[in-house]
Amino acid sequence: MTTILAKTFERSLDSLIAGAVAGQVIEAWTFDDALSRRRAEQILREKGAEARIRSAYKPLVFAFLEEFDLSGVDAVAIHYPVHPSAPENRFRLEAYPLAALVGERRIEFIGRTDGGFFYDVELTRQSIVETHRVLAPNRIHTDILGETNVSPTGWIRLDGDATGHRLETDFERVFESAVQAVAGYGWGDSEPYFEELNILVEYPADDIRLPVGDEVISLREALHEDLYFSLLEFFQQKSGRPPGDRGLQPGQIVPEILRGSGTVSVRVETRPLSTGYVESDTQAIDTATEPLAVSQIEALLEEIGGRAMSAVSRAGRTVSARYVEGRDAAVMISGGQHANETTGIVGALRAARALKLRPDAHFTISPVENPDGYALHQRLRIDNPRHMHHAARYTALGDDLDYRSAESDRDALYEKAIRLKAHALSGAQLHLNLHGYPSHEWARPLSGYVPRNFAMWTLPKGFFLIMRHHAGWTAQAMALLDRVTRHLGSIPGILDFNRRQIDLYEIHAGETGFQIINGFPCLPAIDERHAVPLTLITEYPDETIYGDAFIAGHTAQMETVLAAYDAWQAISAETLPSS
């Protein structure tokens, strides 16, 4: 192991307390949870200072949670900032999920272009309008890529100063120190640059659950996301690849953001790759309430039977799969390409178990295509089970296995080899690739707030489908989408689930940009990258869900597989030449 950075920071709240004097009036905005801010205010009062400490992260939402009285309010109007260096909806996104938090009250968002970083709030009670101004402290800065960002920052106003000035907080210092330490290290010129790059942070902030779906406000989760993607972007730039290139193989970047005991610290070091798994209890597969243990997945594959297939990950873990041969038109079923998307893994196994009972079933099943990512997800969930953990999205090489070229050296294919084997054995013309995405807001607050290159994924918008197909296969693709969505619409509650999430999404983000087919957002597109002419990708908002929500998610995934399998038997018989 090589230590690149080890540093402890004074807490911003402690610094405010130490510098305060009796008689002082303090307004500050920091990245701290509500309990920490209230405790600091109490200590400041004991020193004789009058203090109000607000959240620099999502300040409008916290104003409604902590300061505004909505009793008797029947309408809310929000005049939000629009800045030329940020997306038009940037501050509407930061206000999410306010439209749900205000309940049945009418809410309207109105853009302002005066350049001020504040929200003007109008609360209407029995035709009387009450106005409030909510500061949204932001700074315009250039990041390590040379990109201009508008990002939340700390702020302080003393003794009635109407303007105030920036307060560089401990949260911001942790982030900048880690990124700069990695950027300044000598990594050489060859990918991968390391096995595991670990960023261990202690940050004393509790998450806040909101009474809206699976929504949560988490400073620690936000720091994980911002560190992971900022460092991924740095290595993309270092490698000379274009922004967002998913073929980059830097190694496994692992931010571990812990609650800790009250100190603020960061340690950056390189480590060898792990090779094991975290085990857990066996669950009833149809009612599993959380991600499955790998030992149970292996046992379920053994029960499904058929011909065993395997590949090996970079860390040496086995990618296990099965080929069940029959007289039906073959279908490939996979899950866990992005290993923090876990309902697809359970749904794939449930569907394969059901198909196995059919005498003519013909399919391949590879439920965990990315075992190194899955192992990391298990590890990270121990401390933060309700965080998205996008560090576990990609492989131990740091790439998206789907983007490895089939023409590459076969020894370098690692996990991707399982797809080539599945296609070669089955001859399938349809691949069902089960995925998920964040079930609550995804933000990068210190890098412009909206996740760069992933803006469409920042808010949940229901269960949706992506269809990638070769040119000349449009008719089959659209027929499949129609039949599958018709079936999914018969699942009790799923259309209402979609409607609620889409309605909230459109208020804060704008139009989905998707084609709605039978109540389901769908995104069909011609894509020639894959050997299989049709790839149906599921996207269920599943990252961080448990219990009944997890059961609903993997049931929807299973039903999609079974509906697509049945639809494909009819479509292929109707439209494809017989062999």
Q: Parse the chain into domains and list their residue ranges.
A: 12-168, 174-271, 285-532+542-575
Nearest 5°: CA angle at 176, between 167 and 383?
Answer: 100
The Cβ of residue 549 has, within 10 Å, a number of other Cβ atoms equal to 17
pLDDT at residue 406, rounded to an integer: 59
pLDDT at residue 399 in the model: 96
Q: Parallel, antiparallel, or unpaired for β 216-217 and 208-209? A: antiparallel
pLDDT at 579: 45
- Under CATH, domain 285-532+542-575 is a member of which superfamily? Zn peptidases (3.40.630.10)
- The CA distance from 306 to 319, in Å, is 16
User: Closest Cα partner for 432 from 488, 486, 365, 478?
Assistant: 365
Query: In which residue ranges of the chain is pLDDT below 50?
Result: 579
251 contacts 193 by C-beta, under 8 angstroms: yes
CA 280/CA 198 separation, integer angstroms? 24
Within 10 A of 116 (CB to CB), how many other CB atoms are there? Answer: 14
Structural contact between residues 363 and 565, judged by C-beta atoms closer than 8 angstroms: yes
Dihedral, CA of residue 211, residue 12, residue 168 and residue 61, to nearest 10? 20
One-character DSSP codes across 210-254: -SSTT-EE-HHHHHHHHHHHHHHHHHHHHHTPPTT-TT----EEE
* Cβ atoms of 529 and 328 closer than 8 Å: no
Q: Which long-range contacts (CB under 8 A, 24 or more apart) does 217-220 make?
A: 217/57, 217/58, 217/61, 218/386, 218/387, 219/31, 219/32, 219/33, 219/57, 219/171, 220/257, 220/258, 220/259, 220/384, 220/387
User: pLDDT digit string (tens) for 96-106?
Assistant: 999 999 999 99
Distance CA(552)–CA(347), nearest Å, equals 10
Instruction: Give 19-31 pLDDT, tens digit per residue.
Output: 999 999 999 999 9
Rounded to an integer, what is the distance from CA 504 to the centroid of its chain?
Answer: 18
Q: What is the DSSP letter of 293?
A: P
pLDDT at 405: 77
**Residue pair 150/83 in contact by the 8 Å Cβ criterion:** yes
Count how many Cα atoms sit within 13 Å of the Cα of residue 158 in the half-sphere of its side chain.
11
Q: Show the DSSP H helices in 369-416 as ranges.
A: 371-381
- Category of 517 on φ-ψ map: left (φ > 0), alpha (ψ -120 to 50) or beta: beta
Chain Cα centroid distance, residue 378: 16
